[in-house]
Amino acid sequence: MTRREKKQLGSGLAFTSLWIVGLCAFTAYPVIASLYYSFCDYSILKAPVWCGLENYQQLVHDGLFWKSLRNTLFYAGLSVPLGTLMALGLAMLLNCEVRGRSFFRLLFFMPSIVPVVASAMLWLWIFNGEYGLMNGILNPILGLFGMHGPAWLADPSWSKPALVIMSLWGTGNAMVIYLAGLQNVPRDLYEAAEIDGASAWQRFRHVTLPTIAPVVAFNAIMALIGAMQLFAQAYIMSEAANGNGNASDGNPERSTLFYSIYLFSTAFQDIRMGYASAMAYILFLVTAALTWMAARLTRSRTDDSP
């Protein structure tokens, strides 16, 4: 290494020194410690005791683990596609030249920055079976067919769909991203397609879709990763909708026992930190696989070299 290179390395390390500390203390150490704990019996009060694969073996036979996984996949499987479709639909509407575009964009985006605790309270009230807004709107319509709205969060078969509906209210973030993607589609492509006599559907299918597909795929995978970690809404709403139950029971009938909730209660209520770490690592592997897919989808488009 020449003197010049040494000096450059020195200033590079100096500028990134805060991050070197941060990376080690707040990411690298926890990632490694977590892996170690996942092979241990650990209660934070006493030093971890090595127990090999026991936590993982126990997980395979843990009914609640599978239940929480199924609940999470059910939620993600509904909320991600519906949210993506809705965000894309709204973005396409906003991409038309209509009056008040920026006003509508503002309206659709706003719910996505509402603090999750506050929006959980709001939707708890909206989904109230007796006096809530949802049934207040639905009941007159359903009443025509002799039906009435469900108890939503208090009903095990409707609690997850209720959370999905709530998540749709917050799709404004993805909508803004898709709208930016749509606005990047070159205008002359549409003009050329129109001259060639392409219908609106053909223009969408052959011009719009290919251009924004990678953005949509990337964001859908990111939404999937987010959905896998669903916590606050479910924690607050399951506790509240079912009276005096414990927040992390996943009431009613464990229908809202999501993966992160089970993990949280294992770690901080049962104080089984080792078992929780094993769960966390399984989540990590799934997330890593999904991220790798997202990265592959975008690599072809993103030119990262200077």
Partner 1 sequence: MAREHKVSRRVVQGLLVLCSIAFVLPFAWLVSTSLKPIEQTISLPLTFIPRAYTAELAGRSVEVTMDYPVAQEGAVVRYESGPNAGKLGFVGRGQRAGDGTVHLVHPVAAGSWHVTQKVETALGEGGPPPAWDILPRSQIASRVRFRWDNYPRALAALGGDAEADRHRVGFWIFLRNSLVVAVLGVVGTVFSNAIIAYGFARLRWRGRDAFFALTLATMMVPFPVLMVPLYGVFKSLGLIGTLLPLWLPTWFGSAFNIFLMRQFFRTIPEELSEAARIDGCSEWRIFWRIIVPLSTPVLVVAALFHFIFAWNDFLGPLIYLTRKDTYTLALALESYQSQNGGVQWHYLMAASAVTILPVILLFLLAQRSFIRGIATTGSKG
User: For residues 52-91, which are near partner 1 according to CB under 8 A?
Assistant: 90
Residues 88 and 152: their CA atoms lie apart, in Å, by: 27
From the CB of 188, what's the least distance to partner 1, in Å?
19
The number of CA neighbours under 13 Å toward the Cβ of 24 is 5
Token pair of 25 as six digits: 């203390």
Q: Using CB under 8 A, count the residues that bind partner 1.
A: 106
In the complex, minimum distance from the CB of residue 218 to partner 1, in angstroms, rounded to a whole number: 5
Residue 5 in the binding site for partner 1 (CB under 8 A) = yes
Provide, for the chain, the percentages of residues in helix, strand and coil under a 3-state DSSP scheme, each rounded to the nearest 5: 75, 0, 25
Structure tokens at 267: 């770690």
194-218 burial, b for 16+ CB within 10 Å, e for fewer?
Answer: eeeebeeeebeeebbeeebebbbbb
Among 64, 82, 85, 114, interactor with partner 1 by CB under 8 A:
114
Q: Are 262 and 247 in contact (CB under 8 A)?
A: no
Residue 33 in the binding site for partner 1 (CB under 8 A) = yes
- Which two tokens mark 272? 């089984």
Which residue, 158 or 235, is less far from partner 1 as judged by CB? 235
Smallest separation, CB 49 to partner 1 (Å): 15
CA distance 258 to 260: 6
For the bound state, the minimum distance from the C-beta of residue 257 to partner 1, rounded and expressed in Å, comes to 15
Count CB neighbours of 233 within 10 A. 21
The CB-of-65 to partner 1 minimum distance in angstroms stands at 14
Which of 49, 117, 141, 192 touches partner 1 (CB under 8 A)?
A: 117
Q: Quick one: which segment of 52-60, 73-81, 119-127, 156-164 binds partner 1 (CB under 8 A)? A: 119-127
Cβ neighbours of 140 (radius 10 Å): 10
Residues contacting residue 109 through CB under 8 Å, at least 6 positions apart: 172, 173, 175, 176
- Is residue 298 a contact residue for partner 1 (CB under 8 A)? yes
Q: Which of residues 237-296 bind partner 1 (CB under 8 A)?
A: 239-241, 243-244, 247, 260, 263-264, 267-268, 273, 276-277, 279-281, 283-284, 287-288, 291, 294-295
Q: How far is CA 21 from CA 10, 15, 32, 214, in A?
A: 16, 12, 15, 35
CA distance 273 to 38: 8
Provide the minimum distance between the beta carbon of 101 and partner 1 in the complex, in angstroms, as a whole number: 9
Shortest Cβ 63–partner 1 spacing (Å): 20
Contacting residue, 43, 82, 111, 211, with partner 1 by CB under 8 A: 111
254 close to 72: Cβ distance less than 8 angstroms? no
Using CA atoms in the order 43, 48, 54, 56, what is the torsion angle rounded to 10 degrees?
70
Among 37, 152, 158, 258, binds partner 1 (CB under 8 A): 37
> Which 174-193 positions form the footprint of partner 1 (CB under 8 A)?
174, 176-177, 179-181, 184
- Which of 39, 75, 152, 169 binds partner 1 (CB under 8 A)? It is 169
Q: Does residue 203 interact with partner 1 by CB under 8 A? A: no
14 binds partner 1 (CB under 8 A): yes
Contact 221, 298 (CB under 8 A): no
Residue with smaller CB distance to partner 1, 78 or 230: 230
Q: Is 121 in the site for partner 1 (CB under 8 A)?
A: yes
